[in-house]
Amino acid sequence: MMRRLFNFPGGVRLREHKRESTSSPVARAQLPEKIILPLHQHIGVPAKPVVNPGEQVLKGQIVAEAGNNISAPIHASTSGKVLAIEDHAIPHPSGLPARSIIIDVDGKDEATDSYGTARDSSALTAEQLREAVKDSGIVGLGGAGFPSYLKLTNEQNKVATLILNGVECEPYITCDQMLMRNHALEIVRGLQIMQRALGIQQAIVAIENNKPKELELMQHAIYEAEADNVELVQVPTVYPAGGEKQLIQTLTGKEVPSQGLPMDIGIVCHNVGTAYAITRAIEHNEPLISRYITIAGSVAKAQVLEVPIGTPVSHLIEQCGGNRKTLSRVIMGGPMMGFALHDDEVPVVKTTNCILVNSVISDVPLPSRSNFAMPCIRCGACTQACPVGLLPQQLYWYARAKEFDKIQDYDLFDCIECGCCDYVCPSQIPLVQYYRYAKSTIWQQEKEKTFSDISRQRHEFHNYRLEREKKERELRHKQKRQVVEGTSTQDDKKAAIQAAMDRVRKKRDHSEVKPKNVDNLTDQQRKLIEEVEARRKKKLEEIKHDTDNNEVESRKP
Amino acid sequence: MARVLMALIPAIIAYSWFFGWGLLVNIAIAVVTALGCEFLMLKLRQRPAHPFLTDGSVLVTAVLLAFCIPPLAPWWITVLGICFAVIIAKHLYGGLGYNPFNPAMVGYVVLLISFPREMTTWLPPFIMSDLDFTLLDTLKAVFLGVFPPGYALDALSAATPLDLIKTQLSIDVTIAETKAANAIFGDFGGIGWEWIGNWIFLGGVWLIYKKVISWHIPVAVLGSLFTIALIFYLKDADHYSSPMFHVFSGAAMLGAFFIATDPVSAATTPTGRIIYGIGIGILTYVIRVWGGYPDAIGFAVLLMNLAAPTIDYYTQPRVYGHKRS
């Protein structure tokens, strides 16, 4: 039976540029000299290191544990010695460094004893499967990096449909395609494990119709794995058909609610790479320590490599015949949604799918092609291209004008940053950059607002406290004054003053502290102490004399 | 922008065929003035001449405004209109992409209000070869106001079909009588005018086919103009012209395909564009029939330009994941 497919609005057709990297087989990346493992490679809180500098680690050994429930552990991707746990450049648009575990690779690639041992998964319960996925550090490998075990939890049986995303719609990126070509059966087995963990029957595997070879291989694998309730669906090749929301719309006609999750409409979406990683973790005891990555663009040999996570990007570029000296811009991800790296020494992380190399010799055609943007003429080409139904020209207008209230009226936060508007803009305006800027500014403002709210509350309480103390003090004074004024004769006043002065004197006398640690002293030390004591006494006497004089002075009317 | 100009070429040829060299002379004056004004303003605003000058947007403004000026109008009319359009309506509001009003129509309305006599002295349709009014005669008329013997402007000029019907109706002459008494009426509109309309229509359809403009605004403008004209025509054909007459007369075609579709000053949402177009169609009819001017595309476009931001705000498309309302 053919599944009825739905169209999503907008989208663009792009040149695929996929043949370059799929014409040669997948190779293993050579081991680098250093492995850099950022502690924050996933959505959630960073992992916590469990090794110390100088410690020897083995391939597959856990080096950082999950920070809390929304986090993922990190494992050493090869053997070596922990050099340091320090800030290092990581692949992030900001270019800011972040804490990473740096391992000096010894080249032996020794693994832990349990690594790669076969395990019979059929006996495991759903809970045990989830735990194994969690302990293996598996996160969404399609790009989001959300800890996968959370998306294998089916509370109240809300989830009815599992979608496995093999669409990979962005130009140049081919890692999922090559994975399906080489490991179709393991992907399907991973899908079956996901089905068991979720306790659901229905599953759909979606592949773009520009990958007939992989479709056939997957069909065969489904047959071989006897996955009768898995449906294989070809979807039209339109960018961004592989976006989670767009894929759900294409396959089911349903829309994920704004600010919601696919789970809200009973759907869970996983990437084929994640399914493969789950099979390796459950059946072979291999935590997530390597992945397929496409190296394309201005390199001698574009290809897909199986890369240990933490390998520096420069190392991969060199292996594919790129010249580090002529690099102009290295992009992590595809030309539409990727971001330029500030430094080619950054490592690849769990979510890296593609390294797109630009050099001064030849440039990869990118959506924001020109350095010079013309003014927006409100032609509306972006509106027609937007797969979410936004009005990109209005968002641009308000982002430029910094009208951040208005821009939210136009649903800025529903933008998926796919870059279709950039691509079709006749004025070549880098629209998505404006939206990212607006989003981060709004987040920053909200943070500051929360902070200032707290500060204001504290300030208001501080004022209230001062006021209260002032009132209490005034009350005390009033009572005292009543006591003093109640006895109004001259003698009583004098007596009161005398009493106060006695109190002061008493206090002063009592301040002569008893010396400590004076047992077992040598004669010399004792002598020294006596001299000091004598000097102190003399000084005290002087002070006493002065204050007595002052008292005499103060008694004068 | 180049394609917009290309789409106008058939209409320019047809216009010249029926009304002589005047339009070509006006276009030449308008283009030179517009390029000069644009260059000056870009210099003053410290913007690079390339690509702002070379993108052709100012040429479209110039050609469209030239289309709206009578063929033998004095040269300074065109120069003044272009200066106002480019300097004030476009650059003082921030230049390309920021002008709230269609610059060509601002220029046109300023001229129409300030110089009503010069702006309404239209020519009767004649075929160029029929009349011995050469390019040199045209240039002399436009630049010097000198006409060859026997061709005084007052004798040459004639009211447009829209104007004629309006004035005749005001003295209780029915449309059928007016049409019978005057030889300027063709099948739908005026002789000549309706052919220019045809070519503009074809140029516009080509622009839609080439995706330079979207279909929303032209369809809405012509559709609403046709519909409202049809309603009144069916009610009283003696006093209300036929819908085809309205669609093929005056600047309706040009307005629908080339003027109202200026993206900068129009509404930009798909629904908004339809509302915007309907507004222009209805306002055009209302002013033509009950207002003080025989044609009204310029006023209608400017009035709807005013409303465009509000229309956009209230016609946002439903965004993915939001409830259908």
Q: Domain map of chain A by residue range?
A: 19-340
pLDDT in tens, A433-473: 899 999 999 999 999 999 999 999 999 999 999 999 999 99
Please answer yes or no on whether A389 and B320 come within 8 Å at the CB atom.
yes
Q: Topology of A19-340 in CATH?
A: Rossmann fold (3.40.50)
Confidence of residue A262 (pLDDT cuts 50, 70, 90): very high
pLDDT for A509 beyond 80: no
Task: Please provide residue B269's backbone torsions phi and psi, each rounded to the nearest 5 degrees.
Answer: -80, 150
Please answer yes or no on whether B321 and A377 come within 8 Å at the CB atom.
no
Residue B214 with chain A: CB contacts under 8 Å: 380, 384
Please answer yes or no on whether A410 and B316 come within 8 Å at the CB atom.
yes
Give A46→chain B minimum CA distance, Å: 30
- Bridge partners (DSSP) of residue A62 are A75
Q: Average pLDDT per run of 10 along chain B, which is 325 residues long?
A: 91 88 93 94 88 85 93 93 95 91 95 90 69 79 81 73 84 82 75 86 94 93 96 91 89 93 92 96 94 89 95 91 77
CA B254, B259, B264: angle at the middle one, nearest 5?
165
Write the CB contacts of A336 (distance below 8 Å, at least 6 apart in sequence).
A14, A170, A171, A239, A240, A367, A418, A419, A420, A422, A423
SS (H, E, C) chain B: CHHHHHHHHHHHHHHHHHHCCHHHHHHHHHHHHHHHHHHHHHHHCCCCHHHHCCCCHHHHHHHHHHHCCCCCCCHHHHHHHHHHHHHHHHHHHCCCCCCCCCHHHHHHHHHHHHCHHHHCCCCCCCCHHHCCCCHHHHHHHHHHCCCCCCCCHHHHCCCCHHHHHHHHHHCCCCHHHHHHHCCCECCCCECCHHHHHHHHHHHHHHHHHCCCCCCHHHHHHHHHHHHHHHHHHHHCCCCCCCHHHHHHCCCHHHHHHHHCCCCCCCCCCHHHHHHHHHHHHHHHHHHHHHCCCCCCHHHHHHHHHHHHHHHHHHCCCCCCCCCCC
Please answer yes or no on whether B96 and A374 come within 8 Å at the CB atom.
yes
A92: its two tokens = 């992030």
> Whole-model pTM?
0.79
Could you give the CA distance from residue A471 to residue A365 in angstroms, rounded to a whole number?
73
Per-residue pLDDT averaged across A401-410, rounded? Answer: 90
Please answer yes or no on whether A393 and B268 come within 8 Å at the CB atom.
yes
The ipTM value here is: 0.84
Interface of B with A (CB under 8 A): 51-52, 55, 57, 95-98, 214, 263-264, 266, 268-270, 273, 312-313, 316-322
Identify the pLDDT of residue B159.
Answer: 77
Give A241→chain B minimum CA distance, Å: 14
A372 in B contact zone (CB under 8 Å): yes
Please answer yes or no on whether A372 and B51 come within 8 Å at the CB atom.
yes
